[in-house]
């Protein structure tokens, strides 16, 4: 339905090994793609590199028109792509639109509108006395080919935005989708080609970890990687060994701080969505809650009440709010963390692994709320990546801040308070790449906002103007008309040294220092000035 059948693919690919894509809900094979041997990845990069220069020669406004055509192509197929997202990743149908598809349509429009302005030559003001005859500008030049290694939890919106910005900046792209969601990677390529992007400028390679490593080791100019800390660190080391950059988004352990003056119904709704959307399989999902004691009982009661109302089941149904875990291994990881926390003294207020009638192949975990957790428990230190909210009751805002920062991760964080000044004060001291006040995680869907973390959550930024800067070589271009010679050129002598020393004091000194510099330096300054207007 979504890819050529295994039989027909095998006829095309001959003996090429096929990668099956299976529905996490039913276990059925929904399609297959041919994989690539790691040693063949460089050849794909080379083929893209042969096409990319012609694309780079287009003006940014021409490239912008292709982005808008891609948006139209996406809208033409939006329902089919939504169904593929549901079937291949397990995301509820509504979330396929809200969390993946609408943000990428919007991103294409933002990239097309903002890209030409961000990538335009930028004048550099020459304000120092010794640079007044010069002028300059920054230019933003394509890197060539960019590699994108995508995750399985947001297999559409994360790589799609990175591919769009890389293309807008004049690059070609080689995309390596997650092995759990290969069909969506192929669909990304197809959408851009339907929008008129030259065939072969975006290529997709499939395979396991060795193919991703081969892409990182290839001649791509930069790698965008989203995934685990250990693999991301390895990607960073590979790129560093070749003196090329990388953008690493390595997951998070996002804290939520609920102040005593928070709007509790709003905070409860935010906690339930931030913790349980996409079955909790969100890098910036809420994984730790610190609530002030004064409102803790009411907050916990509200979260448990709303968590138990969430509907679990077939993600193709419009009413479903919690779908299956995308893989058996992720299901087992989350179940173990819940069991470990309970064994260590936490109280499970609701949720846990469940079976859904008629969907025996799916691995489901009901929204789970834990109280009585401590930072000594694994569930408060390791990334859960599942629908679990551990809640800690604290006695002060400072205690909440200290605990929120007590993590190796630093992707996002949220503060919930009616007092904006309080929220911004707390936000300033939280160690994270993003902080939201009275909301959580929404800005990934707004491409003008930067995305990325600190500490073990990663390196660099995607989206926003900073995402564009990751995809270009920032070049300083300077012009000197040559009507004078620079005073610091040879020959060196005492006169030049005294002139420069007194110039520094004259320009940047205070009071008597400037006056003395003018008296002592007048003669050498005049002599050096005469030198600068001589030619030859």
Query: Would you say 18 and 8 are in contact if contact means Cβ atoms under 8 Å apart?
Result: no
Half-sphere exposure of 48 (CA within 13 A, CB side): 29
Q: Is residue 341 part of a domain?
A: yes
Question: 32 CB contacts (<8 Å, ≥6 apart)?
Answer: 3, 4, 5, 6, 9, 18, 19, 20, 21
Q: Is residue 208 part of a domain?
A: yes
Question: Confidence band (pLDDT; 50, 70, 90) for 2?
Answer: very low
Q: Which residues pair with 176 in a beta bridge?
A: 149
The verdict on 54 and 157 lying in the same domain is yes
The verdict on 268 and 229 lying in the same domain is no
Q: Does the pLDDT of residue 13 top 80, yes or no?
A: no
Q: What is the pTM of this model?
A: 0.94
pLDDT tens-digit readout, 110-146: 999 999 999 999 999 999 888 989 999 999 999 999 9
Query: Would you say 437 and 258 are in contact if contact means Cβ atoms under 8 Å apart?
Result: no
The verdict on 330 and 422 lying in the same domain is yes
The verdict on 424 and 328 lying in the same domain is yes
Question: Confidence band (pLDDT; 50, 70, 90) for 15?
Answer: low
Q: Is residue 16 part of a domain?
A: no
Percentage, residues of the chain above pLDDT 70:
97
Q: Is residue 25 part of a domain?
A: no
Question: What pLDDT is stored for residue 535 in this prediction?
Answer: 61
The verdict on 102 and 185 lying in the same domain is yes
Q: Does the pLDDT of residue 467 top 50, yes or no?
A: yes
Q: Is residue 10 part of a domain?
A: no
Task: Sort 372 into a burial class: Cβ within 10 Å, 0-12 / 13-18 / 19+.
Answer: middle
d(CA 290, CA 287): 10
| Total count of domains within the chain | 3
Q: Is residue 54 part of a domain?
A: yes
First to last CA, the chain: 76
Query: Would you say 33 and 182 are in contact if contact means Cβ atoms under 8 Å apart?
Result: yes
Question: 304 CB contacts (<8 Å, ≥6 apart)?
Answer: 349, 350, 369
The verdict on 244 and 269 lying in the same domain is no
The DSSP secondary structure of 422-465, one letter per residue, reads HHHHHHHHS-SSEEEESS-SGGGG-TTS-B--EETTEES-BSHH
Question: What pLDDT is stored for residue 10 in this prediction?
Answer: 38
Which 8-state DSSP code applies to residue 3? S
Q: Is residue 34 part of a domain?
A: no
The verdict on 308 and 227 lying in the same domain is no
Question: Confidence band (pLDDT; 50, 70, 90) for 454?
Answer: very high
Question: What pLDDT is stored for residue 531 in this prediction?
Answer: 86
pLDDT tens-digit readout, 234-279: 999 999 999 999 999 998 999 999 999 999 999 999 999 999 999 9
Q: Does the pLDDT of residue 99 top 80, yes or no?
A: yes
Q: What CATH number did the domain enclosing 471 receive?
A: 3.40.605.10
The verdict on 190 and 263 lying in the same domain is no
Question: What pLDDT is stored for residue 536 in this prediction?
Answer: 53
The verdict on 203 and 54 lying in the same domain is yes
The verdict on 296 and 315 lying in the same domain is yes
The verdict on 146 and 227 lying in the same domain is yes
Q: What CATH number did the domain enclosing 277 receive?
A: 3.40.309.10
Range of the domain at 172: 41-250+466-475
The verdict on 243 and 275 lying in the same domain is no
Considering the chain, what is the average pLDDT of its residues? 95
Task: Sort 242 into a burial class: Cβ within 10 Å, 0-12 / 13-18 / 19+.
Answer: middle
Element (DSSP H or E) covering residue 351: strand 347-354
Range in 151-155, 379-383, 529-533 the model is least confident about: 529-533
CB neighbours of residue 131 within 10 Å = 15
Q: Is residue 435 part of a domain?
A: yes
pLDDT tens-digit readout, 325-372: 999 999 999 999 999 999 999 999 999 999 999 999 999 999 999 999
pLDDT tens-digit readout, 16-73: 799 999 999 999 999 999 999 999 999 999 999 999 999 999 999 999 999 999 999 9
Question: What pLDDT is stored for residue 5 in this prediction?
Answer: 37
pLDDT tens-digit readout, 395-434: 999 999 999 999 999 999 999 999 999 999 999 999 999 9
| Alpha-carbon distances of 320 from 115, 212, 474, rounded to whole Å | 37, 34, 47
């Amino acid at each position: 339905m979504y890819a050529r059948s295994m039989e027909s693919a095998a006829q095309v690919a001959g003996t090429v090994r096929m990668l099956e894509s299976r529905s996490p809900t039913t276990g059925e094979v929904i399609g297959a793609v041919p994989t690539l041997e790691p040693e063949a990845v460089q050849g794909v990069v080379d083929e893209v590199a042969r096409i990319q220069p012609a694309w780079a020669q287009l003006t940014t406004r021409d490239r912008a028109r292709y982005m808008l055509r891609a948006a139209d192509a996406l809208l033409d197929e939006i329902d089919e792509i939504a169904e593929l997202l549901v079937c291949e990743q397990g995301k509820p149908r509504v979330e396929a639109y809200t969390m993946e598809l609408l943000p990428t349509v919007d991103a294409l429009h933002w990239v097309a509108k903002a890209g030409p302005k961000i990538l335009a030559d930028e004048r550099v003001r020459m304000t120092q006395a010794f640079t007044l005859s010069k002028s300059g500008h920054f230019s933003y030049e394509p890197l060539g080919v960019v590699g994108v290694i995508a995750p399985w939890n947001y297999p559409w919106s994360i790589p799609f935005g990175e591919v769009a910005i890389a293309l807008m900046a004049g690059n070609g792209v080689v995309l390596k989708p997650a092995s759990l969601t290969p069909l969506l990677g192929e669909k990304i390529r197809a959408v851009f080609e339907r929008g008129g992007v030259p065939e072969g400028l975006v290529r997709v390679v499939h395979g396991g970890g060795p193919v991703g490593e081969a892409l990182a080791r290839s001649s791509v100019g930069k790698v965008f990687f989203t995934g685990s800390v250990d693999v991301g660190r390895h990607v960073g080391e590979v790129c560093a060994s070749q003196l090329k950059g990388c953008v690493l988004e390595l997951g998070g352990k996002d804290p939520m701080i609920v102040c005593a003056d928070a709007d509790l119904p709003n905070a409860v709704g935010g906690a339930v969505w931030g913790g349980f959307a996409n079955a909790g399989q969100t890098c910036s999902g809420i994984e730790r809650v610190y609530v002030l004691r004064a409102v803790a009982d009411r907050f916990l009661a509200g979260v448990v009440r709303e968590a138990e109302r969430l509907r679990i089941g077939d993600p193709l149904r419009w009413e479903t709010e919690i779908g299956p875990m995308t893989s058996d291994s992720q299901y087992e990881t989350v179940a173990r963390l819940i069991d470990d926390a309970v064994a260590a003294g936490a109280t499970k207020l609701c949720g846990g692994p469940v079976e859904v009638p008629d969907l025996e192949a799916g691995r489901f975990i009901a929204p789970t709320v834990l109280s009585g957790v401590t930072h000594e428990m694994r569930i408060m230190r390791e990334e859960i990546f599942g629908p679990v909210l551990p809640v800690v009751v604290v006695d002060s805002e400072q205690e909440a801040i200290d605990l929120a920062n007590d993590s190796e991760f630093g992707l996002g964080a949220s503060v919930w308070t009616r007092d904006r000044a309080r929220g911004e004060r707390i936000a300033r001291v939280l160690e994270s790449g993003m902080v939201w006040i009275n909301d959580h995680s929404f800005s990934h869907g707004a491409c003008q906002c930067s995305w990325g973390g600190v500490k073990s959550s990663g390196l660099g930024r995607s989206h926003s103007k900073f995402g564009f800067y990751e995809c270009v070589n920032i070049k300083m271009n300077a012009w000197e008309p040559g009507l004078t010679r620079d005073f610091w050129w040879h020959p060196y002598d005492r006169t030049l040294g005294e002139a420069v020393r007194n110039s520094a004091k004259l320009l940047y000194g205070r009071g008597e220092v400037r006056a003395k510099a003018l008296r002592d330096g007048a003669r050498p300054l005049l002599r050096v000035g005469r030198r600068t207007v001589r030619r030859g």
